[in-house]
Amino acid sequence: MTLRQFNRLTMVVFIIVVFVVGCTGVPKLIVRQHTADVSGIERIAVLPFENLTNNRYAAERVRRVVIAEFLSRGLDVLEPGEVTRVLKEKNIFTLTYISTEQLQEIAEELEVEGIILGSVGAYGISKGINVFYPEVAVHLMWFDPSEGKVVWSVWGTEGGPDFWTRHFGAEPPTIHETLQKVVKEMVDTLYTSKK
């Protein structure tokens, strides 16, 4: 092989690698707010999420993955049943219009240092021309009861078939794998430099 042929082959391989990497399903994240300092936080509560999808179980499935992700970071996450009990006692049946004062009262009663709120905008399997692929869109917020405001807010999405699924019919990731990837990337932003 001549040097000229080697250079051409190297260029072709480089272009293929750039194309393949550019076509993978990397989660898209938008961090809207990040003033949270979680270094001293030990105990949080994850409230039920708003479900904006047609899948009646989507919000609870996403909530469970979010809880697992925070547990993996060493935080003490309050048991969901305890959160539900306190919400019922306070006659809070929807979180759409919850006030700052109500969130602070909930945090005080649950004895937590942070409250995670969220919504699920997409959760399901979509169909392309000849492939099926998972789609997930999640919004998470961290409410700091001591400051009385949201100190972290991030929107994460993942969807569409990747390069291998589109061109070679490879098996796409499952909806659960996609959700775990998105949630991990979202929570990572909480532990990285502030935006």
Dist CA 122 CA 104 (whole Å)? 29
Residue 136 φ then ψ, to 5°? -135, 135
Q: Give the single-character DSSP code of 174.
A: P
**Residue 11 or residue 129, greater confidence:** 129
**Residue 51 or residue 160, greater confidence:** 51
**Torsional class of 74: left (φ above 0), alpha (ψ -120 to 50), beta (otherwise):** left
Dist CA 78 CA 108 (whole Å)? 13
Domains, in order of start, for the chain: 27-190 (3.40.50.10610)
Tell me which of 34-48, 55-69, 113-127, 151-165 is least confident.
151-165
Q: Are 36 and 105 in contact (CB under 8 A)?
A: no
**How crowded is residue 113: how many other Cβ atoms within 10 Å of its Cβ?**
18
**How crowded is residue 104: how many other Cβ atoms within 10 Å of its Cβ?**
17
Predicted model pTM = 0.79
- Confidence at 30, pLDDT banded by 50, 70, 90: confident
Angle, CA of 108, 188 and 170, to the nearest 5°? 130
Spacing of C-alpha 64 from chain mean position: 11
Q: Is pLDDT of 10 > 90? A: no
Spacing of C-alpha 71 from chain mean position: 14
Q: Which residues pair with 153 in a beta bridge?
A: 33, 141
CA distances to 64, 80, 138 from 77, rounded to whole Å, are 11, 9, 19
pLDDT at 9: 43
